[in-house]
Amino acid sequence: MFDFSEEDPQILGLGQAFNVSTLFSYFSEAAEAVDEGYLVTDTGKIWFGTSKAIRWLQDYFDDNEREPR
């Protein structure tokens, strides 16, 4: 058995958060380089979006807020 202190799970959590953040950063750079559009959302909130995805949303909602012709 392992004998963890109360501090160990917090340290492991910080390490995992750093790894996820690093991978997300690499993925974001790769997606921008190939001109992909994607969003990361959770319960209706946008946490991250590539510049292309954000442009698509702005174009879509700007077009749909105009009065019908």
pLDDT at 69 over 60: no
Is 55 part of any domain? Answer: yes
Q: Which residue has the tokens 């698509």?
A: 56
What confidence tens digit (pLDDT) does each residue in 33-50 have? 777 788 888 888 888 888
> Phi, psi at residue 54, to the nearest 5°?
-65, -40
Is 1 part of any domain? Answer: no
Domain with 40 in it: 8-65
What confidence tens digit (pLDDT) does each residue in 14-32 have? 777 777 777 777 777 777 7
| 55/65 Cα distance (integer angstroms) | 15
Is 28 part of any domain? Answer: yes
